[in-house]
A and B are shown apart, each in its own frame.
Chain A
């Protein structure tokens, strides 16, 4: 069965420091991988996706993610964190080899960036 794990409930980073939000996945076929962000009292926003091709994917607001097939990981990164990056981040996977192509979300990681 497909699954997504975000091992950290919360990540704390100082402003200006690099940040990493971790995600690992398990699927039977080729994965489509996504990152979404949810700001307080606001809807969900798409950040980036990996379908195929270059393992390093660049997305919105300076975020990027690296697809690692051998480690089945898709960690979200940003070179220099901003206080405004504080939000809830969700990793999701879609198993294109599955019969229904369900989109499975991780539990979410709360990112807190302190000035």
Chain B
């Protein structure tokens, strides 16, 4: 069974641009969560989607948004990029909503904002 895939793996953008990251969960998994990892702030929860609905949201500004499609694939969008948005963005999938089932993580998308 294929694991969680994230595209692209690496991305370079400039300040003010917007970016869309994609996450394909393990087949059959309906819950997708997004996390940001930076050296300074560590791992921070962004949001969680289950069956196309946002269930939980972390403390991030409205520039960070996401959505989930009917096939459970999820996208995350960051608008008006700032230097501080440079990070590793991780996606995780699980059968059930986070907290009740094992999460499987993708390799991440490394975003660099110049």
Binding site for B on A (CB under 8 A): 32, 42-46, 49, 51, 90, 92, 94, 96, 100-108
Contacts and interface: CB of A to CB of B under 8 A. Distances in A.
Contacts, number: 54
Contact of B99 (A32, A42, A104, A107): A32
A76 to B, nearest CB: 16
B105 A103 contact: no
Contacts of B58: 100, 102-103
A42 B37 CA distance: 13
Given A101-B55, A102-B58, A107 B42 contact: yes
A108 B99 contact: no
B107 A43 contact: yes
A103 B92 CA distance: 13
A101 B58 CA distance: 9
30 contacts: A32-B99, A42-B107, A43-B90, A43-B105, A44-B35, A44-B43, A46-B103, A46-B105, A49-B99, A49-B102, A51-B99, A51-B100, A90-B42, A92-B43, A94-B99, A96-B99, A100-B57, A101-B55, A101-B56, A101-B98, A102-B45, A102-B56, A102-B57, A103-B33, A103-B99, A104-B45, A105-B43, A105-B44, A107-B42, A108-B43
B92 to A, nearest CB: 7
Interface of B: 33, 35, 42-45, 55-59, 90, 92, 98-100, 102-108
Nearest to B92: A44
Nearest to B59: A102
A28 to B, nearest CB: 16
A67 B53 CA distance: 32
B99 A90 contact: no
Contacts of A51: 99-100
Contacts of B42: 90, 105-108
